[in-house]
Structure 1
Amino acid sequence: MAYARAASELQPAYDFIVLGGGSGGSVMARRLTDAGATVLLIEAGPLDLGVAAIEDPTKWVSLTRGPYDWGYDYAPTAHVRGRVIGIPRGKVLGGSSSINAMMWYRGHPSDYDAWEAVGATGWNFASCLPYFKRCEDWEDGETDLRGASGPLRIERSADPHPVAIALRDGAIELGVPPVDDPNGPINEGATLSNFNIAAGTRWSSARGYLHPVADRDNLTILTGSLAITLGFESNRCVSISHIVDGAPITTRAHKEIILALGAIDTPRLLLNSGIGDPDDLQRLSIPVSVPLPGVGKNLQDHPLVRAVNFRAKAPLAPMRDNGGGSMINWKSRPDLEKPDLHAFCIQGRSAVPEIAAAHDLSGDVFAVAPGLMGSKSIGYLKLLEAGPGGRIEVQPNYLAEQDDLDALVAGVEFVMDLAGTNAFADLFAGYAAPAGRLSRAETEVFVRNACSTFFHTCGTAKMGTDANAVVDPSLQVHGLEGLSIADASVIPLIPTCNTHAPVTMIAERAADLVLARAANV
């Protein structure tokens, strides 16, 4: 296997350097080596191999706030009652695809048409669809909308948990239409989830894209190496300074460097390298390399209410799949063109610390977590200190928009209505958190107290052509040659879905764009 562990095992230069081994970086490394290029993939975290909690889909929650998580937090605001909200980000080969809930969902086609409408020319759904299909190995085989034989295995639960069945069937009783495949022609409805799980094992980006080709002579995978700064010659990015064996070294790229560090660490590296708002950089005494005021702006994430907990009539069946198994996509208001609310079940209790402290969640408890996929609130990331270990402030501004709060109130009310359906008759023995039905004002308080994250941070180096865009529609950083981005930071508008599928699609397309550019140099 082409795993490097020391500086002596590295070449001074490679055709391409990919920073970050997650959903975007795994794809880039695979596709660039498929084309015969030499590639160095640099990942700050350790290898993912042989970690039981990563392989077992039911154990994913245990991976947050542990050694495979960067441990980032969202800064508090009054909108969430002054609470700090943890934002898990994978620090391991496979990135967040190695610690996430394994959901494969790409939202509504109009999400991508909206990207093009705001300046991401050529990124409409019809243009993105072939790249979605390229990465998929869907259990039902290829269709006009789904792919087969791609690197990422995607399956439904073979044996859904009773809580998963109740969520799906209860929502249908309340008028949500059934849908066979949420990644098919219609995404509104109640359905079994699509998972990156096969034979009871997590199917991460590392497993799908990297492990099968790790012994290639033209691929070097370096783990445990933290990126420090980018290096430039004139208007071209030519190198990366990174830590190996506890000391900084510099490695050069003959053709291009691709950032795939995610929506927190990509803008962080850009800013530490002098690419960003000149006022922010000068405040930290960082020399300005390229003035791009949009770096760190436009941060978006989906707020999640964690969660509505119910008492169970009897001990629950053992946990299976990812601890969920089904989901609902529906509208908070009938006049909306597409679903904005999303909910999933949890085969046990689930609560942020403040909710857990205020409610009795002992005994047999299960939960349903509603969240807002059509969120409008926008935040930011900024450096408080220079340097790779310097303090940062990450602010999603959850619930800053009244529409977001109103939609989540409707989501909580709908989820509490589920308890009265026939589908929940054999499960529901009473409310646990909240402890009973709430007034409108009480529901607002509950939403603010329970607001958490879907882990869908994106948008902090957005794609487009306006003054705040960081990359152009070919994913090159504005004002530079030799530097591209292929991760969630380039997303201009957050789609109504989990971000793993869109990021994988972005990287599949980025590989084609990078290779075409290199061929013309």
Structure 2
Amino acid sequence: MDRLQPAYDYIVVGGGSGGAVVARRLAERGDASVLLLEAGPSDLGIPAIEDAANWTGLLRGPYDWGYDYAPSPHLNGRTIAIPRGRVLGGSSSINAMLWYRGHPRDYDAWEAAGAAGWNFRSVLPYFKRAEDWEGGETEFRGAGGPLRIERPHNPHPLALAMLDGAAELGLPVIDDPNGPSNEGASLANLNMSSGQRWSAARGYLRAVAERSNLAIRTRALAIGLGFAAGRCVSVRCIVGRSIREIRAEREIILALGAIDTPRLLLMSGIGPPDDLRRLGVSVVQALPGVGENLQDHPLLMGINFRARTPLGPVRDNGGGSMMNWKSRPELAAPDLHAFVVQGPHAGAEIASAYDLSGDVFAISPGLMRSASVGRLRLHSAAPGGRIDIQPNFLAEPADLEALIAGIDRVMDLAATSAFASSATGPAAPDRRLTRSEKVAFIRNSCATFFHPCGTCAMGGDDRAVVDPQLRVRGIDGLRIADASVIPIIPSCNTHAPVVMIAERAADLIRAAA
């Protein structure tokens, strides 16, 4: 962990799935000096992070920012935890390790929304560049990249039952959900190997950590940006007990994620003018879209079944397979997603209403194309000040209808002969529900896939925060390369799209040098 110099050519703020990628690519492709700032500690030598099977133990722990979604009447006033990694590697160091990019239509929708040049064919090379896929290079997959990606080598019986059960229901069983279509059931793609996590920090930073032109500084909390003549020129950060200001000779790249990137912009005077004045922050650049357009995937946590026999030790990431299907046949692409859980999966409200003792497993469905959109607001511009994060889950009636269809499909799946040797029957809910009971169950069980995005969206209109080159509008020398720039949430886990965004960001930055 290097001592800080007064200035660097590039400063990357945030060492997660976006920042680790940008820092690596800028450092390895020339002699420009690069500083990577991360608020959390190093990930090295932490067994809890390396052990892929026990990732859930990291949530709400010392490597999690501990954020919550604000209570909502649509969810009966419940507060929902939204884990975010506070460690080198960011959320890729505490997540479930899914490498999944959704449907090609997801990225064509980005371009249609104003992100010119971000269609699927244009972004596919950047997904492939990141990959070291166990199956080798294909038209849709890459090999030899920094991130190892493997299927479960000894899948749990529940993971295999999902594949066989989906086939009984008439869904295709596909070899690779990262291929030309994601519709159907498949084994998961995981960023792990030999039981160990393969985070962005492991894949992208360790190989270049000794480069003389790359400085990696952990435990450095960014608290503000400095400007001169319309250009972003410096980063202020807390290091130890002192505040340091470091200059960037070329560019500053923000990669703090969908919560902390807009937070830093607002603290620095970039955002909706009314919000900035309320916070007592001088307006540097009026961008009304900062903190708006918050999107996430609602997850039903979860639909539980009583196991016929003991489940045995946890394998892989505690799941191992997934299923994608349409809530309505006329849809162009799947909108519902489910995965198995090798144990109970329920929030406090569901756990208190049903008996989940003994051997229990879950099949947890969620909506990957939700229409509900939320927002983020600061109550204070001070470092660590109170923040209000509201995804507005279930605000759109169509989302509720889709999740009702999700419950029905999961109950059908568990009733197939494929699950006959695994389950004796439902545990939570403990029977088929009426429509009104399904609505009540959804409002009490709805949580999150941990996929917040969109709060500094890319586009070409006045609500866009960054342009298609990822430059913050109206400010020179400042880009964003994280989930906050996503204009429309893709139908997948957001780790892979963020890595893709960062791979492309590095090319855009180099082209501008």
Describe the SS at the equivalent of 1:23: coil
Q: Deviations over 1:377-410 (max 9, x none)?
A: 0000011111121101000000001110000111
- The match for 2:288 is 293
Give the TM-score, by structure 2 length. 0.99
Q: How does 1:258-407 map to 2 (within 5 A)?
A: 258-407=253-402
Verify the 8 A CA contact 1:269 1:388 in the aligned structure 2.
no
Cα drift, residue 419 of structure 1: 2.0
2:12 pairs, out of 11, 15, 18, with 18
**Match of residue 44 from structure 1:** 39
Q: Does 1:171 align with 2:166?
A: yes
One-letter amino acid of the counterpart of residue 257, structure 1: I
2-structure distance, mates of 1:15, 1:337:
45
CA RMSD of aligned residues (A): 0.7
C-alpha displacement at 1:429, in angstroms? Answer: 1.2
**2:260 maps to amino acid:** D
Structure 1 residue 209, shift from structure 2 partner? 0.1
The alignment status of 1:96 with 2:91, answered yes or no, reads: yes
Name the SS for the 1:243 alignment partner: strand
Q: Distance in 1 between matches of 2:384 and 2:361?
A: 39
Compute the displacement of 1:117 (Å).
0.6
Deviation at 1:432, TM superposition (A): 1.1
Q: What SS does structure 2 have at the residue aligned with 1:297?
A: coil
In the alignment, the residues of structure 1 paired with residue 78 and residue 163 of structure 2 have an alpha-carbon distance, to the nearest angstrom, of 32
Among 31, 41, 58, the alignment partner of 2:25 is: 31
CA deviations on 1:155-181 (whole Å, 9 max, x unpaired) are 000000011111121111111111110
Give the Cα separation in 2 of the matches to 1:432 and 1:246. Answer: 52
Residue deviations 1:214-251 (CA, integer Å, cap 9, x gap): 11111111001100000000100000000112211100
- Paired-residue identity, %: 67
Q: Secondary structure at the match of 2:235?
A: strand
What residue is the counterpart of 1:230 in the other structure?
225
Alignment of 1:110-125 (within 5 A): 110-125=105-120
C-alpha separation in 2, matches of 1:374 and 1:470: 22
Partner of 2:184: 189
Q: 1: distance between equivalents of 2:46 and 2:357?
A: 30
Counterpart residue number, 2:241:
246
Q: Which runs of 5+ in 1 are unaligned?
A: none
1:50 CA drift (Å)? 1.1
Structure 2 residue 77 is the aligned partner of structure 1 residue 82: yes
8 Å CA contact 2:28–2:208 kept in 1: the answer is no
Mapped to 2, the partners of 1:437 and 1:52 lie a distance apart of 42
Distance 1:332 1:160 in 2: 27
CA distance in 1, matches of 2:234, 2:489: 31
Residue of structure 2 equivalent to 1:462: 457
**How many Å separate the matches in 1 of 2:428 and 2:93?**
30
Matched residue SS, 1:148: coil
Secondary structure at 1:165's aligned position in 2?
helix
Counterpart CA distance in 2 for 1:238 and 1:45 is 23
Aligned residues: 512
Out of 410, 422, 443, the position equivalent to 1:448 is 443
Cα distance in 1 for partners of 2:226, 2:486 equals 25
Q: Could you give the per-residue CA deviations for residues 29-78 of structure 1, whole angstroms, max 9, x where no partner exists?
A: 00000122211100000111111111111111110101000000000111
Looking at structure 1, the residues matched to 313 and 430 of structure 2 have their Cα atoms a distance apart, in angstroms, of: 25
Question: What TM-score results when the alignment is normalised by the length of structure 1?
Answer: 0.98
The answer to whether the aligner puts 1:147 opposite 2:151 as a matched pair is no
SS in 2 for 1:253: strand
CA distance in 2, matches of 1:53, 1:443: 37
What SS does structure 2 have at the residue aligned with 1:498?
coil
- Which residue type is aligned with residue 14 of structure 2? G
Name the SS of the counterpart of 2:393 in structure 1: coil
Matched-pair contact (CA < 8 Å) for 2:53–2:195: no
CA contact (8 A) 2:8 2:35 kept: yes
Within 1, Cα distance between the matches of 2:413 and 2:140? 31
Query: 1:502 corresponds to which letter in structure 2?
Result: P
Q: Which amino acid aligns with 1:500?
A: H
CA deviation after TM superposition for structure 1 residue 356, in Å? 1.1
Greater shift, 15-24 or 162-171, is seen at 162-171
Question: SS where residue 343 of structure 1 aligns?
Answer: strand
Per the alignment, in what secondary structure is the counterpart of residue 107 of structure 1? coil
The alpha-carbon deviation at position 317 of structure 1 amounts to 2.2
1:433 aligns with 2:431: no
Separation in 2, partners of 1:45, 1:478: 29
Contact 2:104–2:181 (CA under 8 A) maintained in structure 1: no
SS of corresponding position for 2:111: helix
Distance in 2 (CA, whole Å) between partners of 1:393 and 1:229 is: 19
Distance in 2, Cα, partners of 1:357 & 1:208: 41
Instruction: Report the more deviating stretch, 427-436 or 368-377.
Output: 427-436
CA distance in 2, matches of 1:468, 1:354: 38
Q: Distance in 1 between matches of 2:132 and 2:383?
A: 37
Q: Shift in Å at residue 357 of structure 1?
A: 1.5
Give the ranges of 4+ consecutive aligned residues of structure 1 lying more than 4 Å apart after TM superposition.
none
